[in-house]
Amino acid sequence: MPRPPMVAIIGKKNSGKTTLVVRLVAELGRRGHRVMTIKHGSHTFNIDPNTTDTYRHYHEGNAAKVAMVAPGKFALIERLNTEPSPEEVAEQYMNDADIVVCEGFKKAVLPKIEVFRASVHATTLFADGNCRASKFLAVVTDTEEEMHVDFPVIRFSDGEWLTRLAELIEREVMRR
């Protein structure tokens, strides 16, 4: 089965990526879409504390994979030699999604929306040259200053910013 449509929400540290992703996912869900997310981390993580059996299976037992099953939830922890791309993760685990919203993955070949808080950072990622502008769908920002870009600028001060962002994703990413 082909992978679902995907979009990456990117931005510098403390720009509000997680807050935007949570609100966007909720809005897309309200619109009837089956939404899934992938979060990129720059360091390793543990989804359970060191007092749990699954932690012991993975760390003390050195299991290659550990699955945790409970009413209404399932988690799989797998040892990997390389970091999979978000496209690989979506294709393997999320192919029944209407849309996969990724947080991070600024170097991935995905359409991107940057969260830019002028109150926190002086420049955008696209202005810094950290990403190719041709892959940008929009920038969502707190600045009222004019931005000379060839993609939409959505301002948090616009009371309809979330609606505009969801509609942009439906039209440009989901092709609806």
Contact 28, 130 (CB under 8 A): no
pLDDT in tens, 38-74: 999 877 777 778 888 988 898 889 999 999 999 999 9
* pLDDT score for 139: 95
The predicted structure's pLDDT at residue 111: 94
Position 59 scores a pLDDT of 87
Q: What is the pTM of this model?
A: 0.90
111 neighbors 5 (Cβ within 8 angstroms):
no
Percent of the chain with pLDDT strictly greater than 90: 69
What is the structure's pLDDT at 132? 55
The token pair that represents 109 in the structure block: 């070949």
Task: List the CATH code of the domain at 6-45+82-172.
Answer: 3.40.50.300
- Bridge partners, residue 35, by sequence: 99
Please count the other Cβ atoms lying within 10 Å of the Cβ belonging to residue 40.
16
Specify whether the CB–CB gap between 98 and 78 falls below 8 A. Answer: no
